[in-house]
Amino acid sequence: MKFLYSLLLIGLLCVRSFAQTGIAVPQMSNCDNLVNNFLTQFNIPGATFAMAKNGKLVYMRGFGEANLAGTENTQPYHMFRIASVSKPITAIAIMKLVQEGKLNLSDKVFGTGGRLASHPYLSTVVYSDVRINDITIQHLLEHTAGWNRDTDCVPFPNPPYTWSITHCDPIGFPLYVTQTLGETNPVREEVLIRFLMEKGLTFTPGTQYAYSNIGYLVLGEIIASVSGKSYEDYLKEDILAPLGIYDMYIGKNLLADKREREAEYYGNGYLAPSIYNTGQNVPWEYGGWNLEAMDAHGGWIATARDLVRLLVAVDGFNTKPDILNTASINTMTTPSTTNANYAKGWTVNSANNWWHTGALDGTASIWVRSSGGYTWAVILNKRIIDNTSNSFWSGLDNLPWNCIGQTTTWPTHDLFDFPSQNSSDFVFASQSTTSLQVSWTNGNGSKRVLVAREEGRVNAFPLDGEDYTANAAFGQGDNLGNGNFIVYNGDGNSVILTGLTEGKKYHFRLFDYNQSTTSGNHALYQLALSAQDSATTATNTSLEDLASLGIRFYPNPMSEKVHISLPSIQICSHIELHNMQGQLVRRVEVSDMEQDIFTGDLPAQIYLLSFFGEDGYLGSERLLKR
């Protein structure tokens, strides 16, 4: 792939109109046009595109359709499969471990003293090619470990596949692998590695370049072994979370298991035997491939924004702090001796640009760090494999460069200025049969919105750049769609909701946001890890109703404690005491029929004593503390 600096315009005649979402950037409207023209030319349903300049996120847009039904617009918050863009993510993790002294690039991987010598599965593999013992971490990063996927290593016939397999990349024939090795389905990462270990190497490690998906699976096993965590957990907890990145996960195989806010993928109509060995033929993009076993080489899903945020943290520029030092970045991006255009997880060129592309049925992606201070990610929910595929990839490559070339005035805002921590810990206190106090612990956003929905989980999201009007009377605030109403918008930690229906269950979700001059006064919401909970409004429960359940408590007024007597420990799971500001001051898990809640250290005022069973709220009564 060549990166071109020329201004290549892609078809100015648009025959299809694509929805455009996200914060509009007037200075970059030509970029919107370029994306629309590209999607039209190649009939791509949906895309997300994010770009940073000098460490600031200046552009973050969604285009087209996010679901197969064509009823959901792609938003910047949608996560997409990124395929082989996963490889440089794995490389970043390896370089972080090297920087911390936990690995060396020269470390051997297999055999006695190798990094996987104690691996519970791979250490038991019997292989005859002793050159495997010479493979190092650097060989794996640079695709020089000795496995050449372009060789033919599968004899025909190769059941259950009905076509001849002319390559040696076991991700493409997982059922043949499990059948040959007597393993269970769906295939696991280490089983794919075993298959190639038993086949042996095509060349001596370090002597040739041959792109290898399985080599990166081995790197994933090394990361897990060294960190003591799963590959995914190490990346999420030690690399991504410290950067405020939470919208990145290893994806799932099936449409039914997709993540909330994940896009859906348009294949090219080809079927393959299900990786679950059901005997059915299924689309490659949903069960033909085992995406979950591609983790370190092709399994990630991500938003374009979070990809760019990660890249800004390893770009070598001094605009925002990097998680890798200069020496580590230079090592990571220095070409190997066998391929002047591939380093360690990155394609590179003499202009000091680094990038990687990704492709699977249903997705295509590109991730770029340019020497001019620009970083970007473009992700699509379809790839082109016909005779226009070369033009497709060239157009995808050129699209952001043309965007840069056609932008003469750049915005000064930074759309990375979103909170890293959402509010949490809901507390509910009934005020009446139609009103409810909702309290929470604030996150680190300057403000937050509370979304409520009756009799169903909150399933709509605030949009970046949008300002919402809240109303504590349920149903009177802005509706995000599907009955998801904004009931609070502010910097506090409590609201009393009214207009509720007696005995109904209401679901709640909190989203922190920032809105400042840094963000260009755009509201930027944190959607990941948003607190969710539900509460059932009271029926006409009174002291007499609680007594009818056999629940008794005394004294009232109280001083040092309140004693609670229950007819059985099954009737009540826990008891809560709130002040009238909605703050939880005591919570007791029921373990005995006789319970004391000590109150001697609490201020003298009115409190609300609430009882909860396994099926929800039982009732409340006010107590006076003297």
Per-residue model confidence as pLDDT tens digits over 148-161? 999 999 999 999 99
Tell me: the pLDDT tens digits for 548-585?
889 999 998 899 999 999 999 889 999 988 886 667 88
Q: Is the pLDDT of residue 502 over 90?
A: no
Tell me: the pLDDT tens digits for 300-350?
999 999 999 999 999 999 999 999 999 999 999 999 999 999 999 999 999
Higher pLDDT, 475 or 432: 475
Q: What is the largest CA-CA distance in the chain?
A: 86
The pLDDT, as a whole number, for residue 543 is 52
The pLDDT, as a whole number, for residue 16 is 53
* CA 399 to the chain's CA centroid: 25
CB 83 within 8 A of CB 366: no
The pLDDT of 195-215, averaged and rounded, is 98
Closest CA to 223 of 107, 62, 130, 339: 107
Tell me: the pLDDT tens digits for 428-474?
877 778 888 888 999 999 999 999 999 999 999 999 999 999 999 99
CB 74 within 8 A of CB 310: no
The pLDDT, as a whole number, for residue 69 is 96
Q: Is the dihedral of CA 533, 536, 542, 545 positive or negative?
A: negative
Residues in the chain: 626
Q: Is the pLDDT of residue 10 over 60?
A: no
Q: How confident is the model at residue 56 (pLDDT cuts 50, 70, 90)?
A: very high
Q: Distance (Å, rounded) from C-alpha 549 to C-alpha 594?
A: 15
Q: Is the pLDDT of residue 518 over 90?
A: yes
Q: Which helix (H) or strand (E) holds 401?
A: helix 389-405
- Residue 287 — left, alpha, or beta (φ > 0 → left; ψ -120 to 50 → alpha)? left
Higher pLDDT, 48 or 605: 48
Q: How confident is the model at residue 17 (pLDDT cuts 50, 70, 90)?
A: low
Closest CA to 525 of 187, 122, 76: 76
Q: Which residue has the tokens 């929805």?
A: 19
Q: Distance (Å, rounded) from C-alpha 444 to C-alpha 423?
A: 8
Q: Is the pLDDT of residue 537 over 90?
A: no
The pLDDT, as a whole number, for residue 459 is 96
The pLDDT of 98-114, averaged and rounded, is 98
Q: Is the pLDDT of residue 530 over 50?
A: yes
Q: How confident is the model at residue 539 (pLDDT cuts 50, 70, 90)?
A: low
The pLDDT of 607-625, averaged and rounded, is 82
Is residue 393 helix, strand or coil? helix
CB 212 within 8 A of CB 149: yes
Q: Which helix (H) or strand (E) holds 592?
A: none
Sheet holding 46-53, edge to edge: 20-22, 56-64, 46-53, 374-380, 363-369, 354-360, 347-348
Q: Distance (Å, rounded) from C-alpha 56 to C-alpha 308?
A: 10
Q: Is the pLDDT of residue 131 over 80?
A: yes
CB 108 within 8 A of CB 116: no
CB 91 within 8 A of CB 366: no
The pLDDT, as a whole number, for residue 5 is 34
| 163 phi and psi angles, rounded to 5 deg | -120, 160
Q: How confident is the model at residue 54 (pLDDT cuts 50, 70, 90)?
A: very high
The pLDDT of 257-262, averaged and rounded, is 98
Going by their DSSP bridges, the two strands 447-454 and 574-579 should be labelled as: unpaired
Q: Is the pLDDT of residue 2 over 70?
A: no
pTM: 0.86
Distances (CA, A) of 414 to 136, 519, 522, 530: 41, 5, 10, 22
Which residues on neighbouring strands pair with residue 561, listed in sequence order?
A: 598
Closest CA to 238 of 415, 100, 86, 79: 100
Written as six digits, the tokens of 490 are: 């502010």
List of residues 6+ apart from 548 with CB closer than 8 A? none
Q: Is the pLDDT of residue 605 over 60?
A: yes
Q: What percent of the chain has pLDDT over 90?
A: 84
Is residue 37 helix, strand or coil? helix
Q: Which residue has the tokens 């969604």?
A: 62
Written as six digits, the tokens of 162 are: 């009905």
Written as six digits, the tokens of 221 are: 């096993």
The pLDDT, as a whole number, for residue 106 is 98
The pLDDT, as a whole number, for residue 103 is 98
Closest CA to 389 of 307, 282, 268, 265: 268
The pLDDT, as a whole number, for residue 8 is 35
The pLDDT of 111-127, averaged and rounded, is 98
Average pLDDT of the chain, as a whole number: 93
Q: Is the pLDDT of residue 500 over 80?
A: yes
Is the peptide bond preceding residue 186 cis, with omega within 30 degrees of 0?
yes
